[in-house]
């Protein structure tokens, strides 16, 4: 079992995606896992094998106790205590941990922490497996973004990359279809097959996708606009794109 040095700050993360990704990338940072006893499905068995392989202690708990522990019922029956000084998760770790077709949100240079927090909430609600953003020219997961995310910063892996175009190509190599949201695109999002593994790429407020990001995408698609405004807030647009994927997948 992993042990943190005395006085090491810890935090709680929850949800299968977040905890599985942490187990893959930094298993020694996972100090303890709390799991509801009523989950016996194949997903839990696979998760337990992963945790046991990493030598992490598993503590059985009741669902209402987990509710109180993290202040929400959206924990999916799994909560982990982790070393708060180690937060980094890599894209490959998330892609390798998936047992369904990927659904990823990529943010190309979002500068407003409120928008980032709202995007994380949307990603959590849609069941996205990760939010990916560049380390530079983006706001980063600061205190404001975490607060606005209302817990989603701990349920959705937030991955920062040094080279966004390279990260998109990594997704493509893993079989993920990369779609850029662009208002001038001929195809609408309803014409994009999202039953396959998909990553939606949305640009910064006002500027949209950067040239290299746009050129790296497999295709571009737009959200049909029927009113007088020309664009939507990035978190609203993210929700439309991600939930269309869920609609097509029947979930």
Beta strand residue intervals within the chain, DSSP E: 10-14, 30-36, 57-61, 78-83, 103-108, 130-134, 158-161, 177-181, 198-203, 219-221
pTM exceeds 0.75 for this model? no
Q: Is the pLDDT of residue 108 over 90?
A: yes
Are both 110 and 84 inside the same structural domain?
no
pLDDT interval class at 88 (50, 70, 90): low
Shared-domain flag, residues 123 and 223: yes
Q: Where are the alpha helices (DSSP H) in 157-232?
A: 164-173, 211-216
* Domain contains 3: no
2 pLDDT exceeds 60? no
**Count of alpha carbons within 13 angstroms of residue 57, beta-carbon side:** 9
Predicted local confidence at residue 86, as pLDDT: 60
Domain ranges, residue 242: 94-249
User: Which residues contribute to the annotated binding site for S-adenosyl-L-methionine?
Assistant: 203, 223, 232
201 and 165, same structural domain?
A: yes
The pLDDT score that the predictor gives to residue 4 is 52
Task: Say if 176 falls within a structural domain.
Answer: yes
pLDDT > 80? residue 205: no
Same domain, 112 and 40: no
> Are both 111 and 229 inside the same structural domain?
yes
- The answer to whether residues 52 and 141 belong to one domain is no
| Residues whose CB falls within 8 Å of the CB of residue 18, separated by 6 or more in sequence, listed in order | 80, 154, 155, 156, 157
The residue with tokens 């106790």 is 65
Of 19, 54, 88, which one is at a domain's C-terminal end?
Answer: 88
Q: What is the pLDDT of residue 134?
A: 94
pLDDT at 55 over 70: yes
Whether 132 has a pLDDT exceeding 70, the answer reads: yes
Burial of 117 (C-beta count, 10 Å sphere; 0-12/13-18/19+): buried
CATH number of 172's domain? 3.40.1280.10
Residues 127 and 216 grouped into a single domain: yes
Summary mean pLDDT of the chain? 88
pLDDT of residue 172: 97
Cα distance between residue 206 and residue 220, in whole Å: 17
pLDDT digits (tens, 9 = 90+) for 8-47: 688 888 888 778 877 876 788 899 999 988 777 888 888 8
Q: What are phi and psi of 203, to 5 degrees?
A: -90, 175
C-alpha span between 205 and 97 (Å, rounded): 31
DSSP 73: S
pLDDT band at 1 (very low <50, low <70, confident <90, very high): very low
Same domain, 114 and 204: yes
Dihedral sign computed on CA atoms, order 90, 95, 99, 101? positive
Whether residues 44 and 62 fall in one domain:
yes
Mean pLDDT over residues 111-129, rounded?
94
| DSSP symbol at 9 | -
Q: Do 240 and 126 share a domain, yes or no? A: yes
CATH code assigned at 52: 3.30.1330.30
Do 121 and 240 sit in the same domain of this protein?
A: yes
Which of 65, 88, 111 is a domain's end point? 88
| Domains contained in the chain, number | 2
Binding residue numbers: 203, 223, 232
Q: Which of 88, 116, 144 is the last residue of a domain?
A: 88
Closest listed residue to residue 123, CA positions, set 69, 199, 228: 199
């Amino acid at each position: 079992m992993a042990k943190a040095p005395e006085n090491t700050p810890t935090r709680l993360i929850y949800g299968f995606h977040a905890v599985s990704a942490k187990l893959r990338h930094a298993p020694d940072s996972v100090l303890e896992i709390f799991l509801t006893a009523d989950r016996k499905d194949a997903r839990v068995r696979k998760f337990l094998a992963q945790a046991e392989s990493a030598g992490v202690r598993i503590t059985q708990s009741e669902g209402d106790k987990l509710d109180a522990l993290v202040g929400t019922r959206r924990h999916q029956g799994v909560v982990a205590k982790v070393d708060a000084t180690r937060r980094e998760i890599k894209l490959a770790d998330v892609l390798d941990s998936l047992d369904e077709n990927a659904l990823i949100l990529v943010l190309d240079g979002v500068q407003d922490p409120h928008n980032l927090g709202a995007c994380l909430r949307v990603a959590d609600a849609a069941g996205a497996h990760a939010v990916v953003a560049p380390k530079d020219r983006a706001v980063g997961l600061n205190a404001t973004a975490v607060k606005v995310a209302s817990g989603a910063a701990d349920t959705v892996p937030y991955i920062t990359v040094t080279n966004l175009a390279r990260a998109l190509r990594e997704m493509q190599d893993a079989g993920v279809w990369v779609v850029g949201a662009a208002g001038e695109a001929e195809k609408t999002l309803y014409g994009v097959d999202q039953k396959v593994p998909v990553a939606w790429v949305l640009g910064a407020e006002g500027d949209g996708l950067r040239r290299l990001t746009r050129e790296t995408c497999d295709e571009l698609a737009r959200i049909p606009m029927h009113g007088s405004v020309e664009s939507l807030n990035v978190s609203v647009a993210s929700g439309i794109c991600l939930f269309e994927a869920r609609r097509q997948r029947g979930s």
